[in-house]
């Protein structure tokens, strides 16, 4: 949205929680709708240099036997584009490079929102205050922006009943991205297309693993499940930020999971930075 406002000549400010773009550790998928938009914005060619097309998904049991497959290679003919996987940080860096850097306020964690006839004011954890006409919240369901919006709507009697229940955290996820891997051991990492493998969890082993090669001969992995004890809405801020102790504890729980490339997830964890 920031780049669209830039192109339209509309003044804007982005309050970004991170100090700077983080080390890449997760991927996002870009479908045809998004890719057509990027093409209109003149960004497609540059995005394609960091993208890897996805050929399909394979759903597996814990013993790695195949439950089913979804082939998405036909997307190119039907929708005009393959679905592509890109590293989130590299994607954001390209977008940020197209915008005026003085419009991005790094390290601003929004804690409070005050709105009135004169517009809206955002107050950040470090004391920084930003004033504007319109606020667009893009920081997740458990964010300060969302909590403040819901509080204001509830006070005015405008919050739908379905949104009044506490947000419950019943699943956690840990995500990792390896360094470039040995292609003799992991030849799939060098493939021109990526196949996503989903290893489904069961009662005896309730962790679900998503694993896929990505650009740069690396492998992206994600494990979701009851990795830590559950929390409720009042704990929401903390649950999105695992500390070193929680990460180490969680990695011990999931290191023995088998992966379709041979070996275990622990082999990939050893090749993944802790940043």
The whole-number pLDDT of residue 25 equals 75
Residue 130 has pLDDT above 90, yes or no: yes
Higher per-residue confidence, 47 vs 110: 47
Give pLDDT tens digits for 135-166: 888 777 667 777 877 888 888 899 888 777 77
pTM reported for the whole predicted model: 0.82
3 state DSSP class of 75: helix
Which whole-number Å values give the CA distances from 7 to 40, 87, 153, 188, 270, in the listed order?
11, 24, 32, 39, 43
Higher per-residue confidence, 161 vs 168: 161
Higher per-residue confidence, 172 vs 1: 1
Radius of gyration of the chain from Cα atoms? 21
Cβ atoms of 4 and 42 closer than 8 Å = no
The string of DSSP letters for 81-150 reads S--EEEEHHHHHHHHHHTS-GGGEEET--EEEEEEETTEEEEEETTS-EEEES-----S-TTSHHHHHHH
What are 190's two structure tokens?
């060098």
Higher per-residue confidence, 203 vs 218: 218
Percent of the chain exceeding pLDDT 90 equals 59
How many Cα atoms sit within 13 Å of 66 on the Cβ side? 8
Q: How far apart are CA 2 and CA 8, in angstroms?
A: 10
The whole-number pLDDT of residue 66 equals 96
Average pLDDT rounded to a whole number, residues 190-208? 88
In residues, how long is the chain?
A: 275
Q: How far apart are CA 112 and CA 122, in angstroms?
A: 6
Name the β-bridge partners of 122. Answer: 113, 130
Between the ranges 84-88, 221-225, 230-234, where is the mean pLDDT highest?
84-88
Residue 104 has pLDDT above 70, yes or no: yes
Phi/psi for 186 (5° steps) reads -125, 70
Residue 236's nearest CA partner among 168, 136, 150 is: 168
């Amino acid at each position: 949205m920031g780049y669209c406002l830039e192109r339209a000549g509309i003044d804007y400010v982005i309050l970004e929680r991170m100090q700077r773009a983080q080390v890449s550790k997760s991927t996002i998928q870009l479908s045809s709708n998004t890719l057509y938009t990027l093409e209109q914005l003149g960004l497609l060619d540059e995005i394609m240099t960091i993208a890897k097309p996805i050929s399909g998904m394979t759903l597996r049991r814990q013993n790695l036997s195949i439950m089913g497959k979804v082939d998405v290679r036909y997307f190119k003919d039907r929708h005009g584009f393959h679905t592509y996987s890109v590293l989130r940080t590299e994607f954001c860096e390209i977008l940020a490079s197209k915008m005026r850097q003085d419009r991005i306020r790094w390290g601003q964690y929004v804690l409070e929102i005050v709105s009135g006839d004169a517009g809206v004011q955002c107050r950040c954890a470090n004391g920084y205050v930003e004033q504007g006409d319109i606020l667009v919240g893009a920081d997740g369901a458990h964010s300060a922006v969302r909590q403040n919006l819901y509080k204001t709507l509830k006070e005015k009697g405008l919050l739908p009943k379905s949104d009044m229940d506490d947000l419950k955290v019943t699943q956690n996820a840990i995500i990792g991205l390896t360094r470039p891997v040995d292609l003799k051991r992991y030849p799939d990492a060098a493939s021109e297309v990526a196949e996503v493998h989903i290893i489904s969890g069961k009662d005896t082993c309730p962790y679900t693993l998503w694993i896929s090669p990505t650009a740069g001969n690396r492998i992206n992995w994600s494990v979701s499940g009851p990795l830590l004890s559950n929390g409720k809405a009042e704990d929401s801020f903390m649950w999105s930020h695992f500390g070193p102790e929680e990460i180490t504890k969680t990695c011990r729980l999931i290191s023995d999971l088998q992966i379709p490339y041979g070996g275990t997830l622990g082999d990939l964890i050893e090749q993944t930075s802790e940043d």
